[in-house]
Structure 1
Amino acid sequence: MVDRVFVADAAWLGGDTLAGPTAVGMSGDTVGWVGPPAAAPPEVAQTRVDGILLPGLTDHHVHTALIDSAELLTNGITTLLDLGGVPDELWPLVERSRHDPRLPRIRAAGPFLTAPGGYPTRQAWAPPGIALEIDDPPSAAAAVESLLPYRPVTIKVALNSEAGPVIDDVTLRTVVRVAATNGLPVTAHTQGIGQTLRAYRAGVRILAHTPWTEALTDDLIDGLTRGTTMISTLDIHGWGAPTDGRDTALHNLRRFHAAGGRVRYGSDLGNGPLPLAVNAREIAALAEAGLTPIDVLHAITGAPLRPGAVGDLTAVPADPTTNILALSQAITVCKAGHPG
């Protein structure tokens, strides 16, 4: 049963080109029907949408304690992945986001897992409680298990040898093993020579950032393409100004993508002067790394608009399959079937 219908002159349904006039019917909080406007259920009123319909957009790397999440929902981003927050603040916000129509859907890793005194515990921006310190396999297992009741979507580890000590290989493998036993992937912040290789060898399957402190070897790039996801976060290096870190990250992402690696859009919101919207500089950097507009659409959207998909819709003013920067002008049409 369809209870809301949104109609636009065009929509992106997951292919290489736009579909023509399209109606999307919502059944509760999911997509219930997609088709031409003339075939929409006649008993349901239609809401006209100016622009081109897309699935809701996702930013795969944010820190919600440092931003206004509600503004992101206004600007087309319907889902956030928080990759490091203080548990007492973060988990209530995650729960609230499931029911509050003013907030994007927030999924989270919880606090960082790090070595005693490791990143980010010594950073000026890091509030108390943002990290759980682990120094051996038993403490690693206990830390992962302590997070399970909060339903994290991943476990985040910090492997930043430039900012302090890092956990050893045995402890890292324990994090990965206990997380995997409970159906969770591990996401790693890798910074410093050799840290991405360590993460890969331990079974980490999500990189929170495109590595920028070293050029990855061809063998490592090849290995990473077999099941590892790389979150972009290219614009944090200079915020529009050229830097060595940005150049290295672009070099790594370009090779990873060309080899068939899975890339996801992420901005690291909260880290410097980044817009509370889809970041046009991040999108342009993805294109510079070789992603086509269709690649970028897959990197920033969830499931295509089809029955059973989550009921989130975004609209953009121009064809994003030819002008991908149109994403930076996105607005939210609905979250969980409810108009934005």
Structure 2
Amino acid sequence: MRTLIQNSRVFTGDTVLPRADVLIDGTRIAAVRTGPDGDTDGLVDEVVDGTGKTLLPGLIDAHTHVADGDLALAVGFGVTTELDMFCLPNNLARQRALAGGSDAVADLRSAGVLATPPGGHPSRLLTPEALAFLGDSIDSFTPVASVADAEPFVEARIAEGADYLKVVFDDGTHSGEALPVLAPEIAKALVTAARAHGLKTIAHVWKAEDARIALDAGVDGLAHVYTDLGEGPEAEGLAARIASHGVFVVSTLVYIEAVTGGGGRELFADPLVGPRIPEHLRPGPAAASGPGRTPESARASAAIGLLHRAGVPVLAGTDATPFGPVHGAALLRELLLLTEAGLRPEEALRAATRAPAEHFGLVDRGRVAAGLRADLLLVEGDPTEDVRAPFHSRGLAPWCAPVPLSERKTAVSNHRFLKVGTGESRPTRVPLPPAFLVKASTEDTEGRLSVLEVVVARPIPRHVHHSADECVYVLEGELIADFEGGSHSLGAGEFVLLPHGVPHALRPGSTPPPRVLQLSSPGGWERVIEDMFAAGGPVAAGGALDPAALNATAEAHGITYL
């Protein structure tokens, strides 16, 4: 497939070309020409008119945490590569397989398991519910307790395929709790071991003192900007020291404003961005009248401006997670926050393209140049003058080596042909009873939907899906759907759509009980079932399903039984 994008403005990652033609051949950029229309080195299959538009490298988010569906969400907003900063092994294996096998999702690099002392951050976040959601075990989270642990820990990360090492420097002050921190000698041993194996080390910090300790250990980058030191002689001295060490800083301003209760609501209110954000990631009504920029956000923004002026490489990152900030969309907000911190629009774009590619060794992307991957965005307007252009671009068209977004459904469905026979089920994380057959999993459909064949043997209590629509097609028997005060009988061949946000209940209306095809969009329904059986506890009392017991698992998946 050879595609010629003509007459567009091009931000190369380095500079702006007022008008250029870019030829894409297969998965690579074949040529970038600024002269009059000329030879295309052969026939082209498609010509795209770039008049009035800007072509730029696919965006790179330099700080994320991925789970099922996140990579697909990211690429829809123009983020073509995510740099994950902590991912447990089972989840990481799924995400790597997805990124490696599909051009409908963002590409992925990851630190794998991060280095922290016993009980250190983020141990308190690894609840049974969180681990079940990720499909991982606490056994895969190995803390570092001594200098002797450093080399084996790094070797284990390399065995898992880690692309870099992340080390935590966080005493919990900002969250109001005292957490253990790595001893300086352990931190230095980790950095030394990583460097010996060719890995860069990225430090999680929150305070200026954390950054100083990380610098003493010899890290290559900071995964956050500090929030307690914005301007003044002390701040200037720290910025100069970071610059002298050649250390980069990942901004994560959008994360800081989110966790400190600052702004960010503009993203959800945007008419072209907001509707594409999953409902469970949107702020509630109370957030709409919350405070503006917090002192932490203001100091972090000032620190980024000071670091930039001191010559420190600033990389755009969001700390996006499955629960927010929103993968993809958050990076658009981050670009705006970087300009508010003092970067010119062109510099902010560089922080999300060339800069992370350069500092993380991604030599095949981050620029528009011959020979590189065709990870490209074509947007209306000129983001080198106003970084909000991608927000307001109805024509946002990511190419991911090099399938345009508008063509991905066909391309990806052809790539993912799947046939499941009668009585067969797709693989599940835990064994499920024969009453539950997974015909298409969330992973199979890249998060878009899940399809199960289910025997509804007993009443399913009234419940509400906060983000997923549920569709049921009756294969045999009779199903009763209770919805908005009415009861609806469905026989074989009949169908019902149960929209998210509206409580409903289901119950068998026949003996033997009905057999149905159950579809959830976006996907995730099979993970609810898996987690309920993995939990092993009783979910029924006196033969009836118990809403309280069900909620112990379901609420982590955006479902509440009433």
Q: Considering the TM-score relative to the shorter chain, is it more than 0.5?
A: yes
Q: Distance in 1 between matches of 2:326 and 2:47?
A: 29
Give the gaps of 5 or more residues in structure 1: none
Q: Distance in 2 between matches of 1:124 and 1:14?
A: 38
* Correspondence 1:309 to 2:372: yes
Per the alignment, residue 552 of structure 2 pairs with: none
Q: Distance in 2 between matches of 1:181 and 1:271?
A: 33
Residues 313, 329 of structure 1: CA spacing in aligned structure 2 closer, same or farther, 3 A cutoff? farther
* Equivalent residues in 2 for 1:1-340, closer than 5 Å: 3-26=2-25, 28-35=26-33, 37-48=37-48, 51-65=53-67, 68-123=70-125, 127=131, 128-129=137-138, 131-162=141-172, 163=177, 164-192=179-207, 194-215=209-230, 217-226=235-244, 227-239=246-258, 240=263, 241-270=292-321, 273-279=324-330, 280-302=332-354, 303-329=366-392, 331-340=396-405
Larger RCO (CA within 8 A; separation ≥ 6): 1
Q: Distance in 1 between matches of 2:69 and 2:338?
A: 23
Compare CA radii of gyration and give the structure with the larger one: 2
Residues 329, 269 of structure 1: CA spacing in aligned structure 2 closer, same or farther, 3 A cutoff? farther
Q: Give the match's secondary structure for 1:246.
A: helix
1:49 is displaced (CA, Å) by 5.1
Residue type of the alignment partner of 2:200: P
Per the alignment, residue 527 of structure 2 pairs with: none
Q: Distance in 1 between matches of 2:69 and 2:97?
A: 17
Q: Distance in 2 between matches of 1:78 and 1:290?
A: 25
Q: Distance in 2 between matches of 1:300 and 1:201?
A: 27
1:124 is displaced (CA, Å) by 6.1
- Check whether the contact 1:278–1:329 (CA below 8 A) recurs between aligned residues: no
Deviates more, 1:244-253 or 1:198-207: 244-253
Q: Distance in 2 between matches of 1:261 and 1:192?
A: 17
- Check whether the contact 2:206–2:224 (CA below 8 A) recurs between aligned residues: no
1:318 is displaced (CA, Å) by 0.9
- Check whether the contact 1:97–1:104 (CA below 8 A) recurs between aligned residues: yes
Deviates more, 1:90-99 or 1:141-150: 90-99
Residue type of the alignment partner of 1:31: I
1:38 is displaced (CA, Å) by 3.6
- Check whether the contact 1:25–1:34 (CA below 8 A) recurs between aligned residues: no
Residues 187, 49 of structure 1: CA spacing in aligned structure 2 closer, same or farther, 3 A cutoff? farther
- Check whether the contact 2:3–2:48 (CA below 8 A) recurs between aligned residues: no
Q: Distance in 2 between matches of 1:47 and 1:62?
A: 35
- State the percentage of identical aligned residues: 26
CA RMSD of aligned residues (A): 2.3
- Check whether the contact 1:80–1:104 (CA below 8 A) recurs between aligned residues: yes
1:212 is displaced (CA, Å) by 1.1
TM-score, structure 1 normalization: 0.91
Q: Distance in 2 between matches of 1:24 and 1:165?
A: 53
Residues 99, 271 of structure 1: CA spacing in aligned structure 2 closer, same or farther, 3 A cutoff? closer
Residues 183, 327 of structure 1: CA spacing in aligned structure 2 closer, same or farther, 3 A cutoff? farther
Per the alignment, residue 495 of structure 2 pairs with: none
- Check whether the contact 1:235–1:267 (CA below 8 A) recurs between aligned residues: yes
Q: Give the match's secondary structure for 2:16.
A: coil
Q: Give the match's secondary structure for 2:180.
A: coil
Residues 33-55 of structure 1 deviation map (CA, whole Å, 9 limit, x = unaligned): 12255432341223315532111
- Check whether the contact 1:236–1:272 (CA below 8 A) recurs between aligned residues: no
Residue type of the alignment partner of 1:78: T
TM-score, structure 2 normalization: 0.57
Give the gaps of 5 or more residues in structure 2: 132-136, 264-291, 355-365, 406-562
Residue type of the alignment partner of 1:52: T
Q: Distance in 1 between matches of 2:54 and 2:29?
A: 17
1:90 is displaced (CA, Å) by 0.8
- Check whether the contact 1:58–1:79 (CA below 8 A) recurs between aligned residues: yes
Per the alignment, residue 478 of structure 2 pairs with: none
Q: Distance in 1 between matches of 2:324 and 2:88?
A: 22
Residues 58-89 of structure 1 deviation map (CA, whole Å, 9 limit, x = unaligned): 11111112762202112211000111111111
